[in-house]
Amino acid sequence: MQRYFIKENYHTSDPESLKLIGDDFHHAAHVMRMKVGQECFLVFQDEVAVRAKVTELLEDYLLLEEVAKEEQEKELPLNVTIACGYTKGDKLDLVVQKGTEMGAYQFLGFPGQTSVVKWDHKKLKKKQERLAKIAKEAAEQSHRHLQPEVILYETEQYLRDTFQEYDVVLVAYEESAKQGEKGQLVKTLQQLPKGGRLLVLFGPEGGFSPQEIATFTEMGALTCGLGPRILRAETAPLYLLGAISYQLELL
Amino acid sequence: MQRYFIKENYHTSDPESLKLIGDDFHHAAHVMRMKVGQECFLVFQDEVAVRAKVTELLEDYLLLEEVAKEEQEKELPLNVTIACGYTKGDKLDLVVQKGTEMGAYQFLGFPGQTSVVKWDHKKLKKKQERLAKIAKEAAEQSHRHLQPEVILYETEQYLRDTFQEYDVVLVAYEESAKQGEKGQLVKTLQQLPKGGRLLVLFGPEGGFSPQEIATFTEMGALTCGLGPRILRAETAPLYLLGAISYQLELL
């Protein structure tokens, strides 16, 4: 069933007179061709999701009424932010699409020391809009209760400035994996309380330089390995999210 | 460091006179431009990997000698076979590339009841060759000790005929996930012994039909959920492999 993200909180809405407007109205009325009596999900900014039935179809909006709340928890018990060094091509598209399906809370991008691509302010703004759209569509498709935010930074300094907003900062580091480090991720996941904020940094194709690692760890970040195989830059975040969901939602 | 998969067993080779021939020779000599004294990894069919040094560069082959064995375990403790219903586009490419990095043992493809694409014998043969190449390159890149095999079946019956080769057959089933099933994967991973053979079935975009599920479960397959979010056909195998590595290699 189709999902629409509503740009207001549930607790300020009237359950008997919900509304779809703008792009969502267009999608419901002209792409999905919804008729009176048909149902969809509406997801509000305060992460409440309801099943709703169309009651009236008007010129430029659509009225619905609530049928039932969606009770199943859809979000990971941790807020996981994935930060990726800029890589060539459209690898970030893949990370944002698949990472949204797997439950990431937020995506950050930054130019790593070994990043080959150089994107200026204008290009980053355009990319950020495109990735936000990918995240929105993936969130609808995967039945999320929130749309992950995407922020592309112009410098690595801006990324480091956010470290203090998180309970734990991990750095996925190939050298840790090679040396057989395997306890840090487990320890972190077992210790963080529900609602904890975790930031995980992933390097570009060339990985992190020893200098970057030194700067991160001086600021309190912890290096961690993700198993014995060398994962591509865009594969590592997906491994991480599968592991986090397994530990916190299945185990 | 570059890796080459050698089509013979280590125990039949002479460690002082190892050889690269054919495509691998071409790659080492002309793409990587390796010189005498430079090193690479050679991985044999019996899963032994050695670091080796070039001792002689000849017209159409290259001689090396063993420097040291690669001791770190690179393969998952279970042999995990990923079977995917045929999907549109190149989604199978993504599953094979990322799934190889994450440690899958083998990939199978089959036409599910809801598969939209219809591939004939010739097309399947071509696809299979292409996917085998993707698996080989990903295995080299991710430092695997084996190259996953890829087999594309013409009927779902052929896939079912292989069930008896596995210790456990799981079916990733969206309806299980919706009903909150979350114990089966954990139970399976905790019970299977080292070297156990696990087959996991993933449907095409449209999922499995109730009839397919009935047939699979009558044959002993177990349905399992992969968390509360709805994953695309090509995302679910990556979630699974991240979860398996976490349980068996990190936890």
Of A98, A143, A180, the CB nearest to B238: A98
A198-248 pLDDT, tens per residue? Answer: 999 999 999 999 999 999 999 999 999 999 999 999 999 999 999 999 999
pLDDT category of residue A137 using cuts at 50, 70 and 90: very high
- Determine, for residues B243 and A245 on separate chains, whether the beta-carbon distance falls below 8 Å: yes
pLDDT, one tens digit per residue, over B84-126 is 999 999 999 999 999 999 999 999 999 999 999 989 999 999 9
**The predicted structure's pLDDT at residue A17:** 81
- Answer whether B232 sits within 8 Å of A186, measured CB to CB: no
pLDDT tier at B13, thresholds 50, 70, 90: confident
User: Domain spanning A79-250: which superfamily?
Assistant: SPOUT methyltransferase, trefoil knot domain (3.40.1280.10)
- pLDDT band, residue B181 (cuts 50/70/90): confident
Minimal CA–CA distance to A145: which of B10, B228, B11, B152? Answer: B228
Tell me the residue length of chain B: 251
- Cα–Cα distance between B237 and B198 in angstroms, integer? 13
What pLDDT sits at residue A71?
A: 86
Q: Which of A103, A231, A240 sits opposite B101 (nearest CB)?
A: A231
Helix or strand (DSSP H, E) at A32: none
Q: Determine the residue among A2, A184, A245, A246 to mutate to test chain B binding: the one whose Cβ has the most chain B Cβ atoms within 10 Å.
A: A246
Percent of chain A at pLDDT > 70 equals: 100
Residue in A94, A145, A239 to test binding to B, most B beta-carbons within 10 Å: A239
On the question of pLDDT at A167 being above 80, the answer is yes
Do the chains contact at A180 and B72, CB–CB below 8 Å? yes
Flag if A101 and B180 touch (Cβ within 8 Å). Answer: no
Q: What value does the mean pLDDT take over residues A26-31? A: 93
Tens digit of pLDDT for each residue in A33-70? Answer: 999 999 999 999 988 999 999 999 999 999 999 999 99
Extract the tokens encoding A130.
């495109």
Asked if residue B67 has pLDDT above 90, the reply is yes
| Whole-Å CA distances, B184 to B62, B172, B180, B251 | 50, 10, 11, 18
Selecting from A72, A186, A235 the residue whose C-beta is nearest the C-beta of B250 gives A186
Domain B3-69, second-level architecture = Beta Barrel (2.40)
Q: What is the mean pLDDT of residues A165-173?
A: 97
Q: Where are the beta strands (DSSP E) in B58-196?
A: 62-69, 79-85, 106-110, 149-152, 168-172
**ipTM attached to this prediction:** 0.92
Task: Map out the domains of chain B as residue ranges.
Answer: 3-69, 79-250
B14 vs B90, residue with greater confidence: B90
What pLDDT, on the 0 to 100 scale, is given for residue B14?
83
Question: Smallest CA–CA separation between A249 and chain B, in Å?
Answer: 6
Among the partner-chain residues A141, A232, A242, the one whose CB lies closest to the CB of B239 is A242
**What average pLDDT is seen over chain A?**
94
pLDDT band at A15 (very low <50, low <70, confident <90, very high): confident
Contact A102 B245 (CB under 8 A): no
Contact A101 B231 (CB under 8 A): yes
CA of B226 vs chain A CAs: smallest distance (Å): 8
A233 touches A91 (CB < 8 A): yes
Could you tell me what percent of chain A has a pLDDT over 90?
88
Q: How confident is the model at residue B15 (pLDDT cuts 50, 70, 90)?
A: confident
Using alpha carbons, select from B202, B191, B166 the residue that is nearest to residue B248: B191
Confidence of residue A12 (pLDDT cuts 50, 70, 90): confident
- Which of A229-242 are b and which e, b meaning 16 or more Cβ less than 10 Å from the residue's Cβ? bbbbbbbbbbbbbb
Within 8 A of B205 by CB-CB distance, chain A residues are none
DSSP character string of A173-198: -HHHHHTT--SHHHHHHHHSPTT-EE
Alpha carbon A111 to chain centroid, angstroms: 19
Binary contact (B241, A239; C-beta < 8 A): yes
Residue A43: φ, ψ to 5°: -120, 125
Minimum-distance CB partner of A229 among B143, B227, B246: B143
Residue A201's pLDDT is what? 98
pLDDT, averaged across chain B: 94
B105 in Cβ contact with B81 (< 8 Å): yes
| A101–B235 C-beta distance less than 8 A | yes
Q: What is the pLDDT of residue B177?
A: 76
Say if the Cβ atoms of B235 and A185 lie within 8 Å.
no
